[in-house]
Structure 1
C-alpha cells in the first residue's frame, strides 16, 4: 500500500508516508519542554506515524508567539527536547522539530485567553508581560495590534544566527528533520509576502528580494545541520489575497530553497493576516477535504522537490490516493490525530494492510488481536 511504503530523503528513511503536523500546546515555561510534550508527542509514535514534528519551536525568546511556546534558543533547552526525540526514535518514528520565529505575531495570548496581543493586564492576571516584536516592516498583524519594529540588517543577521544555532541544538538533541515555519504569517512568510513586506532594501520590493530571507535561513541552517539530515520548509503556497503571494511565487521560492539545501516543502496556505488592510481583498478558500493537495502537486511538478500535503485530511483513501498517484510524497495530519492518535494504525486496517494488529506495538496488538479472535468466534461486533 503506497501510504505505508518507506520514503527516503538524504540519510533519513521514514517508515511510512504519514507525518504529524506541529500542534502548539502553549504549555512550556521559558521555552522548556516538559512531561506534557513527551506524552503528547509520544502517543503519535505509539500510534504508528512515520514522522512526528514538535510544535513550533522558537529560535529566539522574542520569536515566541506566546509565553507558552517551546524554544531552542539556549543550550539548557536541549535535554528536554532530546528526551522526546529519544522516545520517538525508540518507538520507530522519525523525530522532527519545527523551528520558527513569530515576528510581528509574537507577544500574543494563548488561544483560550483570546488570541489577542499580550498587554499589561496579563501581568496582573498571569504574571506574563508583553515584549517588543520585530518584522520586515512596521505593519501590525491586525487592528488593535502592536506595531512591530522594522528589522535592521543587524536584526536580520541576529535571527539568521539564531536559526543556525537552534539547528545545531536540534542536531545535538537527536532530531533528524528540521522544518522551518515560514507559513501562516510567521516571520519567513512576512518577508516573502507583499502584504507584509514594504521594505525598499535588498529584502524588499521584487519577489527575488522578498525571498532572500527564506533562502538565507536555509543556508544558515545548513551551516550546522548535518548533510545527511533532512531540511524542510512549511510555506503558504497562496495568501488567498488579491495582490498577495500566489502559487507561482511559491514555485519560484521552492526552486530557490531546493538550490539552498532544502529537501521538501510542506504546502499549506493563508494566515498572513490581511483582513484589516483595505489594500488587499481576501479571497474565499474553497474548503474541502484535501483542498490544498493540488497546490502541493503543482509545486512538486514544477520544481521536482519533495512535497508534503496538509490540511483537511482525514479519510485514509484520500491520503492513499494522494501518495499513489504522486500528488505528494507525504501527508501531514494534525487535528485528526489529536482526535485519534491511532489514526495511522486504523488506516492500515481499513486499507487492508494490517489484518491481525501486527502494525500495533505488541503490548497493544496482542490484546487487540486476542479480543478480535474471540469476537469473531462468538460472531459479535
Structure 2
C-alpha cells in the first residue's frame, strides 16, 4: 500500500525503514513493499518509491536488512501506474476536484501513458496511447527492476497487474481499445502481462518466488471478468508464476463490487480449485484473525494479505494470535506485554 513518503526522486527514506521494520518486529511472516515504479513516469505520485535506476538499490536494501534482521520474508511490488500517473497522493483527494499534478509541482503530465487515450475519470490526466516500442521498453524496465530487486536482497517480487495500474489497464476491454497485437481479443489484451512475466522470470532467480497481483472482477458491464481471470491464471502457472494475489476492482471509476468479505473469499477459492500448481493469496477487507484463519482452514487461499489492518494495528499478528488462542514468537524485548 503506497505510503507517499519517498524523497521526490523515488528514494526510500527513514520512514520506510521504520514503517516496514515495525511489521517485522511484530510478527508479520511476509512483508510486501508498496508499489514501486519501474520507470520514473511509472509512479502514481512524486512521493512514490522507485526502482528505475541502480542508485535506488541501497535505500531498498535498508528495508530488506531490517526485515531480515527480525525474521521476516520481504518482497517488493513492481509497478507502472499508466493513466493514473502524475497525480496527487491519496490523502489529498477531494470530491469532484482534480487529482492531477502539474509539471510545476513535480508532475509529468506529458508522460502519462496508457493502452489507449482513455482517462480513468475527468479528475485524472488524459493519457497518450503507448506505441509498441514504448510497450517493449516498459517490459524491459520490469526486467531491469527485477535485477535491482535481486541486488537489494528481496526474497520475492510481485508484478502489479491489479487496482487499475498499467498492466491491469491492458487487460480490460473498457480501458484497452487498441487494434494491434496488444488489444482486442483476450489473448491480445493479456499479451503485455504474459510477455512481461517472461522477461522477469528470465532474470529473476528460479529459487525465488514470483508473484502476480490481479483484480478478479472489474465491477462494470463489459469489463474484465471472472472467467477471464481464471483463464489468465492458468496461463500464468505455465509461465512460472508461483503465487497470484487476488483482489477486485480499481480500474474503473464507480465500479460496483461486493464489499462482503465472504463473497470475495469465495471468488479466490473458486479460482484456486480450478488452478492446481498455483498458490493464491486473498486480499481485501481482512480485518481480524478469525477471518484470516478461516480463509486458510477452508482452503480458500494459501496466504492472506492485509494492508489497512496492519496500519490500524501494527501488532495485528499478536492480536490475531491472542484471539485464536495461538502461540506466536514475540521479540524478547516485548515479552513483558504478552
Smaller-chain TM-score bracket: over 0.9
Q: 1:359 aligns with which of 316, 329, 335?
A: 329
| Distance in structure 1 (CA, Å) of the matches to 2:288 and 2:115 | 39
Matched, 1:315 2:281: no
Kept in 1: contact 2:36–2:48 (CA 8 A):
yes
Alignment partner, residue 86 of structure 1:
65
Kept in 2: contact 1:62–1:132 (CA 8 A):
yes
Equivalence map 1:216-365=2 (5 Å):
216-275=195-254, 282=255, 284-304=256-276, 305-354=278-327, 359-365=329-335
Matched, 1:73 2:35: no
Shift of 1:286: 2.5
Alignment partner, residue 372 of structure 1:
none
Alignment partner, residue 100 of structure 2:
118
| Distance in structure 2 (CA, Å) of the matches to 1:324 and 1:127 | 47
| Distance in structure 2 (CA, Å) of the matches to 1:334 and 1:257 | 25
Matched, 1:103 2:82: yes
Q: Secondary structure at the match of 1:140?
A: coil
Q: 1:164 aligns with which of 140, 143, 166?
A: 143
Runs of 4+ in structure 1 off by over 4 angstroms are: 126-129
Number of aligned residues: 333
* Structure 1 unaligned regions, length at least 5: 1-22, 276-281, 370-381
| Distance in structure 1 (CA, Å) of the matches to 2:108 and 2:150 | 32
Kept in 2: contact 1:106–1:133 (CA 8 A):
yes
TM-score, structure 1 length as denominator?
0.84
Kept in 2: contact 1:67–1:128 (CA 8 A):
yes
TM-score, structure 2 length as denominator?
0.95
Q: 2:2 aligns with which of 14, 24, 27?
A: 24
Kept in 1: contact 2:32–2:76 (CA 8 A):
yes
| Distance in structure 2 (CA, Å) of the matches to 1:77 and 1:290 | 40
Q: Secondary structure at the match of 1:292?
A: helix
Deviations 1:78-99 (A, max 9, x none): 0000011111111111011000
Alignment partner, residue 13 of structure 1:
none
Q: Secondary structure at the match of 1:138?
A: coil
Matched, 1:368 2:337: yes
Q: Secondary structure at the match of 2:252?
A: coil
Kept in 1: contact 2:269–2:301 (CA 8 A):
yes
Deviations 1:40-89 (A, max 9, x none): 11111111111101110000001010010001000000000001111111
Shift of 1:342: 0.7
Deviates more, 1:71-80 or 1:344-353: 344-353
* Structure 2 unaligned regions, length at least 5: none
Shift of 1:210: 0.4
Q: Secondary structure at the match of 2:223?
A: coil
| Distance in structure 2 (CA, Å) of the matches to 1:185 and 1:252 | 19
Task: Give the greater-gyration-radius structure (CA).
Answer: 1
Q: Secondary structure at the match of 1:37?
A: helix
Deviates more, 1:147-156 or 1:109-118: 109-118
| Distance in structure 2 (CA, Å) of the matches to 1:215 and 1:129 | 28
Deviations 1:271-313 (A, max 9, x none): 11254xxxxxx4x322123442111111111112111001111
Shift of 1:242: 1.1
| Distance in structure 2 (CA, Å) of the matches to 1:342 and 1:290 | 24
Alignment partner, residue 4 of structure 1:
none
Kept in 1: contact 2:26–2:318 (CA 8 A):
yes
Kept in 1: contact 2:84–2:124 (CA 8 A):
no
Deviations 1:144-174 (A, max 9, x none): 5322111111101100000000000000000
Alignment root-mean-square deviation, CA:
1.5
| Distance in structure 2 (CA, Å) of the matches to 1:163 and 1:221 | 7
